Structure 1
């Protein structure tokens, strides 16, 4: 019996403007990022696979999940297996995103090793809009309540243990800023799964220490999530952010909860989930999450809120939110106590996020100006973010018609990337660079040919 052509998949590939070869390349990139060298069924495919799937063959192994992830990134919205005409099961890792699941159970469910963790994430789906729906106020209130009883047989946990977890979070966060999220995240996860999990199940010196340990562990889970997000491991990042929010809620630290929600909103924006991003960003600046935060953290929450407003075409509100973020940052000065987690956010970061907001508002000229300010004021300790900023700036310049100007900017991106940055976001800027240069390849512009060849060589080495 002849198979029925998969018109749903064919339509999505057409919407993405992908040939069979381009779809194959995108699939293999996502698979390589997700599996990190692990070989599973359909961990790498050829053009014939795509042709067979369009022809009606049901893909097996991890193929439905990977192809949906590739299409979601391309089309900037969630693509489910059902939309592609495929079927996929539900994984334990996805079930752990349920807000009712205890964070300690979710931590223990990270698996005994990274490969097990990846299999469980891959077993059931991609970055999902459904998982971005936040719990209601009663959930937050219940989570902040002290436990009814404490196990007496557990080891005693003191302030020194809390400081150790905090120091580790800061150290890996600084490494992420220098080298990118693809460097060192496994070590963070191992510590989370074993040491931090043990502390959280311990016997605390007092209630203040208990809350402090949950807050410190929430920050470490957030760092793991941010590193995964930066390295384009989006399903992993969402799971880690989910755990971090639960731990922060248990600690009763409202500004920390806002900080993590802000990261979730940032990721949702990058993934194209504009409506969900705005809902999460609004939650991040609601009540004590903003009111009790330090000036620098208020500015950080506020500028991501501005970006979400701009992405949803709420231009006037976005402009007001930008002004408030600038005002908040101006109040951050010596003598004002700030949490360590905000160390990276200063004038350069504010300029970067402001530029992204202006870009989304369609003001490319002012966006380029803010990107330049970000590049000019950023310190050497933030090389990864520097590369991402340059990538965005080049894309904005070429949107204005400044081809050679964009090439000069993107040359600096490759200079940074080739010097040892492990970042999926930065790597994606190189992929986008080649795509944006494609209309100019046959015009005989020397800078275009040289940069395109260099970018292709770089991607061939890292893919």
Structure 2
């Protein structure tokens, strides 16, 4: 039986003015960026078959959607092309079904055991961050999962209530504040042990009503998110990926769209830092879509938006990135102290927005603007409660200054960064010190005692944190 021609795909190609051979070449480039090596051999013949009604196999649908989205953006038509837009099956439907079938409580307990066991953790720590294993959801996956989650109930014999939810939130806030001050590696074992024991017991208990159940799963999702974030800050990326996935499943159980957006934003941040802008933008786009953005508080919308802006910049969408920055600034202006906003965004302030804005401007090549925003971040942040972030900001500011040729200013800034790192256990902070030594390498022969002293201090910090 002959296949029906895919007129939707054909129409998008005509809109772009791409031949099938041109489409194949663009797709190959995106595939290389995405690490989809099997798609490097895609040819005009493959595209021809898709237009004639064949369905791409494996990750080809997702890569094709990304290729067409970028093509349209390059022509001034900002549009995220979905599988449905080009007459194909959503490649994430199967992943979404798998997500709904996994028990997040069992996954939490199992991953907690891996995290706490030195041998199992060493094995996972040696694993690479996996784009192939990353769940890149479609825009509707979360609603489908949340709907399925409503049908599940627990059958344990004891009951938890609002006081237990409050206790979990209190512990999460304490650990969050500690992470901001001391870095992700400090206190992780206690965090994970609490998740695996107390929190797993809470989730397995009976609840007096649906509202308490949702609040408990939200609170658990926030702590699982923190486990993922602290692993990311400790440079344990495969472990972070797994914890963030658990947190995402818990947010679906809670039917908490803003929390899902918060977690997807963290996944985009991690993916971006690891050098995968295409996947990071996909995650960031989903984080600011529908209820994940509209139901969030202004402060959280600003946080989601500024990471979206940096992802757009990294993917080469300059004008959209600038527009997203302006929107994030506007959202933060509407945030008022005392608003009904989740405690998880306590850290996000003018200083945080300036930090992410600086990183976006740096990607866009505006080094003066990046330096100005990093300086604003340093100036407006309370250094002691946010020592880890303060140290990272100073490290990145020094990197911009030396890019501009201001070596003396960079050395002075990096000296402040090393001061701020006393007691901080953070892989991300450590990365700025390692980069500092690399950047200073060309100047070592003529830097005198000041540079030599700075380099010695940097080596000491590297040895301590490692």
Question: Is the structural similarity TM-score above 0.5?
Answer: yes
In structure 2, do the counterparts of structure 1 residues 216 and 116 end up closer, same or farther at CA, with 3 Å as the change threshold?
farther
Distance 2:134 2:406 in 1: 38
Q: Per-residue displacement from partner, 1:119-139 (whole Å, max 9, x unpaired)? A: 45257x311112333233554
Aligned pair 1:208/2:211, yes or no? Answer: yes
Q: Residue 278 of structure 2 corresponds to which residue in structure 1? A: 275
- 321-330 or 128-137: bigger deviation: 128-137
Q: Per-residue displacement from partner, 1:249-279 (whole Å, max 9, x unpaired)? A: 1111101100111111111111111111100
Residues 154, 201 of structure 1: 8 Å contact kept: no
Q: Residue 402 of structure 2 corresponds to which residue in structure 1? A: 398
Written as runs of structure 1 = structure 2, the 5 A alignment for 1:34-183 is: 99=99, 100-112=101-113, 113-119=116-122, 121-122=124-125, 125-136=127-138, 139-145=141-147, 146-148=149-151, 150-183=153-186
Aligned pair 1:434/2:437, yes or no? Answer: yes
- Give the match's secondary structure for 2:133: helix
Q: Residue 349 of structure 1 corresponds to which residue in structure 2? A: 352
Q: Residue 52 of structure 2 corresponds to which residue in structure 1? A: none
Q: Per-residue displacement from partner, 1:292-340 (whole Å, max 9, x unpaired)? A: 1111000000000000001111000000000000000000113422111
Aligned pair 1:260/2:271, yes or no? Answer: no
Distance 1:144 1:295 in 2: 23
Q: Residue 369 of structure 1 corresponds to which residue in structure 2? A: 372
Written as runs of structure 1 = structure 2, the 5 A alignment for 1:210-249 is: 210-249=213-252
TM-aligned CA deviation for residue 166 of structure 1? 1.0
**One of 453, 456, 462 as aligned partner of 1:453:** 456
Q: Residue 27 of structure 1 corresponds to which residue in structure 2? A: none
In structure 2, do the counterparts of structure 1 residues 446 and 114 end up closer, same or farther at CA, with 3 Å as the change threshold?
same
In structure 2, do the counterparts of structure 1 residues 111 and 177 end up closer, same or farther at CA, with 3 Å as the change threshold?
closer
TM-score between the two structures when normalised by the length of structure 1: 0.76
Q: Residue 386 of structure 1 corresponds to which residue in structure 2? A: 390
Distance 2:323 2:107 in 1: 39
Distance 2:151 2:464 in 1: 55
- Give the match's secondary structure for 1:155: coil
Distance 2:338 2:452 in 1: 52
TM-aligned CA deviation for residue 78 of structure 1? 6.7
| Structure 2 spans left out of the alignment, 5+ residues | 1-32, 38-94
Distance 2:306 2:272 in 1: 13
Residues 132, 276 of structure 1: 8 Å contact kept: no
In structure 2, do the counterparts of structure 1 residues 446 and 149 end up closer, same or farther at CA, with 3 Å as the change threshold?
closer
Q: Residue 15 of structure 2 corresponds to which residue in structure 1? A: none
Residues 368, 393 of structure 1: 8 Å contact kept: yes
TM-aligned CA deviation for residue 140 of structure 1? 2.1
In structure 2, do the counterparts of structure 1 residues 79 and 368 end up closer, same or farther at CA, with 3 Å as the change threshold?
farther
Q: Per-residue displacement from partner, 1:80-118 (whole Å, max 9, x unpaired)? A: 9xxxxxxxxxxxxxx9xx735321221121253332540
Higher Cα Rg, which structure: 2
Distance 1:392 1:431 in 2: 11
TM-score between the two structures when normalised by the length of structure 2: 0.76
Residues 355, 373 of structure 2: 8 Å contact kept: yes
- Give the match's secondary structure for 1:144: helix
Distance 2:254 2:423 in 1: 37
Distance 1:335 1:295 in 2: 12
Residues 352, 371 of structure 1: 8 Å contact kept: yes
In structure 2, do the counterparts of structure 1 residues 187 and 167 end up closer, same or farther at CA, with 3 Å as the change threshold?
same
Residues 425, 465 of structure 2: 8 Å contact kept: no
Q: Residue 84 of structure 1 corresponds to which residue in structure 2? A: none
Q: Residue 319 of structure 1 corresponds to which residue in structure 2? A: 322
- Give the match's secondary structure for 1:157: coil
Residues 349, 374 of structure 1: 8 Å contact kept: yes
Number of corresponding residues: 371
- Give the match's secondary structure for 2:386: helix
In structure 2, do the counterparts of structure 1 residues 440 and 302 end up closer, same or farther at CA, with 3 Å as the change threshold?
same
Distance 1:452 1:152 in 2: 59
Q: Per-residue displacement from partner, 1:26-55 (whole Å, max 9, x unpaired)? A: xxxxxxxxxxxxxxxxxxxxxxxxxxxxxx
Q: Residue 3 of structure 1 corresponds to which residue in structure 2? A: none
- Give the match's secondary structure for 1:305: helix
| Structure 1 spans left out of the alignment, 5+ residues | 1-75, 81-94
